[in-house]
Structure 1
Amino acid sequence: MNYPRILICVAVMALVTYLPRVLPLAIFRKKINNRFVKSFLFYVPYAVLAAMTFPDILYSTSSMVSGLAGLLTALLLAYFGKGLLTVALGATAAAFLTEQLLLLCGMLAF
Structure 2
Amino acid sequence: MLYAFIATVLMALVTYLPRVLPIAVFRKEIKSTYIRSFLQYVPYAVLGALTFPDIFNSTSSYTTAVCGTIVALILAYREKSLFVVALGAILTVYVTGLFL
What TM-score range do you get, normalising by the shorter chain? over 0.9
Q: TM-score, normalised to structure 1's length?
A: 0.86
Q: Deviations over 1:72-98 (max 9, x none)?
A: 111111111211111111100001111
- What's the offset of the Cα at 1:42? 1.0
Q: 1:94-105 counterparts in 2 under 5 A?
A: 94-102=92-100
Q: Tell me the number of residue pairs that the alignment of Structure 1 and Structure 2 aligns.
A: 100
The Cα of 1:9 is off from its aligned counterpart by: 1.0
Amino-acid identity (%) = 53
SS in 2 for 1:82: coil
Alignment partner, residue 50 of structure 2: 52
Q: Give the 4+ runs in structure 1 shifted more than 2 A.
A: none
Q: Which has the larger radius of gyration?
A: 1
Distance, in Å, in 2 between the alignment partners of 1:87 and 1:26 is 39
Q: Deviations over 1:51-105 (max 9, x none)?
A: 0100110110011111111111111111112111111111000011111111xxx
- Which letter does structure 1 place at the counterpart of 2:91? A
Which consecutive residues of structure 2, in runs of 5 or more, have no partner in the other structure? Answer: none
Structure 1, residues 17-72: CA drift from partner, whole Å, max 9, x if none?
Answer: 11011111111110001111111111111101100100110110011111111111
Residues 24-63 of structure 1 aligned to structure 2 (within 5 Å): 24-63=22-61
Amino acid at match of 2:6: I
Alignment partners' CA distance in 2, 1:39 and 1:5: 43
Q: Which amino acid aligns with 2:23?
A: L
With the length of structure 2 as denominator, give the TM-score of the two structures. 0.94
Q: Residue in 2 aligned with 1:17?
A: 15
Instruction: Show structure 1 runs of 5+ residues with no match.
Output: 103-110
